[in-house]
A and B are shown apart, each in its own frame.
Chain A
Amino acid sequence: MSRPSIPPAYTAASQQPLATLPLPAQLNLWLQGSRCCVEVGQRVLKHQLLAEADSEFGVALHAPTSGHIRAIGPLPQALPDAPLLDGLQLQPDGQDEALPLQAATDWPALSPLALAIRLQDMGVMGQHGPLLPLAWAAAAPPLALLIINAVENEPFLQADSMLLREQAAAVAEAMTMLGRILQPVRLVLAIQQEQGAAINALRSLAANQCWQLEVIQAPYPAGDDAPLLQSLARPEESSNSLCLPLAGIHAAGRAILHGEPCISRIVTVSGAVGQPQNILALLGSPVADLLACAGLPSQQHAIVHGGGLRGFALPDTTIGIHQHSHCLLALAAQAELIAQPCVRCGDCASICPSQLQPQELYWHCSEQQLEQAQHWRLADCSQCGLCSAVCPSQLPLLETFRQTSQQLLLAEQQQSAADAARQRHRFRQFRLERDKQEKAQRLAERAAQQAAKLAQQAATAPSQSTTPTASTADKQAAIAAAMARAAQRQQQRPDTAASVSSSERDAAIAANRQATIDAAMARAAARKAAQDAAKAAAAETSADSSEQAGLNQQQQALIQAAMQRANAQKAAAASNSPAAMDEDKKALIAAAMARAAAQKAARDAGEQEK
């Protein structure tokens, strides 16, 4: 089946001039990945920041006019099935009192990332999130081809054509700005053959500019980003090219060159309205106001958000428009469609621009077989709606694919969250195990070293070495306790460095405390070992001296020292030998005691501070 042409009645450009929507009684704004920074009841001025982006994918929101914030919370949004998402209700006060705009003159010095962040702060949106994706801008790859997408070949859409007709100079200015900052090798404005008036408006401007006009003739959905990139990018450019929507470019120009945040957009209002036209409306304007402005007769109508093929029904006309509201259609209420069973005509497969098999996909999607749906390449569906438009049985193909894609996305997000949690848990277990092993090893080594050192000392000065060593060990333990106390105190003190996040601080404190306790334990173990060694040495000396009086004391001392040294060396060499294990155990007991002492000391210190 050949691609059916879209009837010209739907694509004829409106001859009506651009209308401006009167100030609505209420604006219902959508917080798209942004955090509110105003309060209910507060009066805000036009252009005032209402919400700032709280993620890489969010954009800031500015007040479209002056007025009072009436509500902040979940509101139905102009999306398929009108889900409740975070929104903000602004009641205009009619004065339209604006903050002064600060036009930045430093824009030629902006880096791509700085530009992307500024656009995000100005609330300029692209297809998904900020106009320039922050991750892309941060990587700042060399840009071979930048396409400005002004193609409108979905039935009814005229907003971009109208924007070009009205604001061609501003758009050209914005493109020059972008070309200067992003430095693409080639900057192309793509437009459809049928958008004649817009092409004429641009032709006069296109001479001697850093951008070219590219007129495409392919039918719908050639204006989508992916097919457009495919058709315009040369093979060597295809990997580093970017496609941006025209409305976003215009808003970017206003934002960067004039300091004006994005607060309005052009919406095509068409269908069964009295006068189909393009209306410049503030973001958040209720759909009902736009339809009334275009003269909607009072009969029952289905309100469609979006173009003639991708559009979806809105259940409620109080929903506010957002930055992706290109078009609103009022359709005379039709007899409800009764979908007939699939007759396997195969038209959907022959029209699909992604070469999918929509009939198979539809079957698996409606049977909730998500794996099979993925096997039949649901991910490659561009949701162009052509299959639904040609299906003789009027099956809701597009709607089903949309819902299933949403489900898959949700499932994917949940899966990745679960994976991350599992990985975290495994790593924690591994870390605990590793810490335990390391600690035991460290303790054994230290104990062995201390024992060797003390044995040497005992050998050189067998009789009087006992008390001084013990006293130094005591001193060391006291120092450790003091350090532990200090660490505790530091922890209890209110945070001094606000910039450090609390989790980092906690981790640092814990590490510090652990280190201190470890030190105390090691020292206590050393003290114990020293005492043992000294005791043993003393006993041996006395026994030897009583039995073998004839031997020279000096000689005996030398032999003992040699023996002790040999023992110590053996212990040090094989720290996991049974003897070392005993030492280890003793050291651990000592460590526990030291820890208790340190805790007590810390507690005391805390109480004293209080």
Chain B
Amino acid sequence: MMSTPLIRLAPTLASRNRQQLLALLPAIAIQLWQLGPQALLALLLATATALLADSLGLAWRRQAIWPSLRQGDALLSAVLLSLLLPATPLPLLCICTGAAILLLRQLFGGSGSSPFHPVAGGLLLAAPWLPASLPHANLPLTLALLAGGLWLLWRGLLRWHAPLGLLLVVLIALPVGSGWLLGQSALWLLAGWVMSDGSSTPITSRGRLIHGQAAGMLCISVVTLTTHPDAGVTLAACLLLLSASAPLLDSLTLSPGRRT
């Protein structure tokens, strides 16, 4: 029996993921234009790996595969990883994608249950093999991502508190020399598509703001105080670290509210 049949006032999970993918389309187009067919191959391979890994995990957990797969979480993760790791060898990309999905999503019990974002985990996994040179600012990609993010914001689908916290800190720290971070496409990808995820951030708006600010401060400290060049990897590591503190922030900021 249908329980409480309702008018839906907000898009479902699958629709949200579809729109997040849609917002990535300009960035994907820029990357294809910049890197050519190799990027397309990477995208397809990463997607196939992610779907395979997700299905494997679901089958292993004895869950219905299709209803979960069609929500598009795995697809989104794969596209994000292929955008974050543009010039990596294909086997590395596949391994990172598969491992991230299996270890950081399915092992914890599927999407929504994992406290760590698989994309941040996958990026960190690939870090040792990434080129040690400072990645140059990719302005077209950054602008495309910014446009996609703004579109999501306008659609009301971007949970903006954590990204706002991060950007505030980056802007405040401009005198320290954090300006070059703003040109990094990885920063915008992580801010708009990873930090806006609910399960790896605190649930309250205040908690998310704190989460974003803490990630920004940690990331800028690491980037300015050490010689580690890659902002994306550093931020991913900071996000994973702070995801572990999300329950703490939740318990600090969540209250039943005033009794009426």
Q: Do A and B share a complex? A: yes
Q: If the complex has contacts A1-B156, A311-B4, are A357 and B254 also in contact, measured as CB distance less than 8 A?
A: yes
**Number of B residues contacting the other chain (C-beta, 8 Å)?**
39
A10 touches B7 (CB 8 A): yes
Q: What's the Cα separation between A377 and B255 when bound, in Å?
A: 10
Among the stretches B47-55, B86-94, B110-118, the one at the interface with A is B110-118
A residues near B7, Cβ cutoff 8 Å: 6-7, 10, 155, 308-309, 389
Task: Indicate whether A360 reaches chain B with its CB closer than 8 angstroms.
Answer: yes
**Distance (Å) between the CB of A276 and the closest chain B CB?**
15
**Distance (Å) between the CB of B1 and the closest chain A CB?**
6
B8 touches A334 (CB 8 A): no
Task: Indicate whether A338 reaches chain B with its CB closer than 8 angstroms.
Answer: yes
A residues near B6, Cβ cutoff 8 Å: 308-309, 311, 385, 388-389, 398
Which residues in chain B, 227-260, are within 8 Å of chain A measured between CB atoms? 254, 256-260
Q: What's the Cα separation between A315 and B4 when bound, in Å?
A: 12
Q: If the complex has contacts A309-B7, A344-B198, A345-B159, are A377 and B205 also in contact, measured as CB distance less than 8 A?
A: no
A2 touches B156 (CB 8 A): yes
A377 touches B256 (CB 8 A): yes
Q: What's the Cα separation between A386 and B260 when bound, in Å?
A: 19
Among the stretches B11-19, B34-42, B133-141, the one at the interface with A is B11-19
Task: Indicate whether B199 reaches chain A with its CB closer than 8 angstroms.
Answer: yes
B4 touches A396 (CB 8 A): yes
A394 touches B5 (CB 8 A): no
Interface string of A339-378 (1 = CB under 8 A from B): 0111111110110001111011000000000000001110
**Distance (Å) between the CB of B53 and the closest chain A CB?**
18
B5 touches A302 (CB 8 A): yes
Q: Which A residue sits closest to B208, measured CB to CB?
A: A346
Which residues in chain A, 302-343, are within 8 Å of chain B measured between CB atoms? 302, 304, 308-309, 311-313, 315, 329, 331, 334, 336-338, 340-343
Question: A345, A388, A391: which has the most chain B beta carbons within 10 Å?
Answer: A345
Q: What's the Cα separation between A1 and B159 when bound, in Å?
A: 8
Q: What's the Cα separation between A6 and B110 when bound, in Å?
A: 32
A334 touches B198 (CB 8 A): no
A389 touches B9 (CB 8 A): yes
A336 touches B2 (CB 8 A): yes
Interface of B is mostly: loop
Q: If the complex has contacts A357-B257, A377-B257, are A4 and B1 also in contact, measured as CB distance less than 8 A?
A: no
B9 touches A313 (CB 8 A): no
A residues near B110, Cβ cutoff 8 Å: 341
Q: Which B residue sits closest to A5, measured CB to CB?
A: B9
Say which residue of A155, A308, A315, A349 sits within 8 Å of B1 (CB atoms): A315
Task: Indicate whether B147 reaches chain A with its CB closer than 8 angstroms.
Answer: no
Task: Indicate whether A457 reaches chain B with its CB closer than 8 angstroms.
Answer: no
Q: What's the Cα separation between A315 and B5 when bound, in Å?
A: 13
B residues near A388, Cβ cutoff 8 Å: 4, 6
A4 touches B10 (CB 8 A): yes
**Distance (Å) between the CB of B67 and the closest chain A CB?**
5
B5 touches A344 (CB 8 A): no
Q: What's the Cα separation between A303 and B1 when bound, in Å?
A: 11
Task: Indicate whether B178 reaches chain A with its CB closer than 8 angstroms.
Answer: no
Task: Indicate whether A599 reaches chain B with its CB closer than 8 angstroms.
Answer: no
B residues near A357, Cβ cutoff 8 Å: 254, 256-257
**Number of A residues contacting the other chain (C-beta, 8 Å)?**
53
Q: What's the Cα separation between A155 and B109 when bound, in Å?
A: 37
Question: A343, A344, A349, A350: which has the most chain B beta carbons within 10 Å?
Answer: A344
Q: Which A residue sits closest to B64, measured CB to CB?
A: A338
**Distance (Å) between the CB of A437 and the closest chain B CB?**
46
Q: If the complex has contacts A360-B254, A398-B4, are A344 and B10 also in contact, measured as CB distance less than 8 A?
A: no
Q: If the complex has contacts A1-B156, A345-B198, A380-B259, are A396 and B3 also in contact, measured as CB distance less than 8 A?
A: yes
Task: Indicate whether B217 reaches chain A with its CB closer than 8 angstroms.
Answer: no
Question: A4, A350, A356, A392: which has the most chain B beta carbons within 10 Å?
Answer: A392
Task: Indicate whether A390 reaches chain B with its CB closer than 8 angstroms.
Answer: yes
Task: Indicate whether A399 reaches chain B with its CB closer than 8 angstroms.
Answer: yes
**Distance (Å) between the CB of B75 and the closest chain A CB?**
15
Q: If the complex has contacts A10-B7, A334-B2, are A350 and B13 also in contact, measured as CB distance less than 8 A?
A: no
Which residues in chain A, 151-166, are within 8 Å of chain B measured between CB atoms? 155
Task: Indicate whether A212 reaches chain B with its CB closer than 8 angstroms.
Answer: no
Task: Indicate whether A576 reaches chain B with its CB closer than 8 angstroms.
Answer: no
Question: A331, A336, A346: which has the most chain B beta carbons within 10 Å?
Answer: A346
Which residues in chain A, 10-60, are within 8 Å of chain B measured between CB atoms? 10
Q: What's the Cα separation between A56 and B3 when bound, in Å?
A: 33
A residues near B254, Cβ cutoff 8 Å: 357, 360
Q: What's the Cα separation between A462 and B260 when bound, in Å?
A: 83
B residues near A398, Cβ cutoff 8 Å: 4, 6
Task: Indicate whether A393 reaches chain B with its CB closer than 8 angstroms.
Answer: yes
Task: Indicate whether B203 reaches chain A with its CB closer than 8 angstroms.
Answer: yes
B residues near A344, Cβ cutoff 8 Å: 112, 198-199, 201, 203
Q: If the complex has contacts A343-B111, A346-B204, A360-B254, are A337 and B198 also in contact, measured as CB distance less than 8 A?
A: no
A390 touches B4 (CB 8 A): no
A residues near B199, Cβ cutoff 8 Å: 343-344
Q: What's the Cα separation between A340 and B254 when bound, in Å?
A: 23
A392 touches B256 (CB 8 A): no
A392 touches B10 (CB 8 A): yes
B203 touches A386 (CB 8 A): no
**Distance (Å) between the CB of B71 and the closest chain A CB?**
6
B residues near A394, Cβ cutoff 8 Å: 12-13
Q: What's the Cα separation between A396 and B254 when bound, in Å?
A: 22
Q: Which B residue sits closest to A306, measured CB to CB?
A: B4
A346 touches B5 (CB 8 A): no
Q: What's the Cα separation between A291 and B155 when bound, in Å?
A: 37
Q: Which B residue sits closest to A2, measured CB to CB?
A: B156
Q: If the complex has contacts A311-B4, A342-B112, A346-B159, are A4 and B9 also in contact, measured as CB distance less than 8 A?
A: yes
**Distance (Å) between the CB of A404 and the closest chain B CB?**
14
A residues near B15, Cβ cutoff 8 Å: 392
B111 touches A331 (CB 8 A): no
A residues near B2, Cβ cutoff 8 Å: 302, 313, 334, 336-337
A residues near B113, Cβ cutoff 8 Å: 341
Q: What's the Cα separation between A234 and B36 when bound, in Å?
A: 68
What are 5 pairs between A and B in contact, CB < 8 Å?
Answer: A311-B4, A313-B3, A349-B203, A355-B257, A389-B10
Q: A309-B6, A346-B205, A388-B4 are in contact. List 9 more A-B contacts (CB 8 A).
A: A1-B156, A313-B2, A337-B3, A340-B67, A340-B71, A344-B112, A346-B159, A357-B254, A389-B6
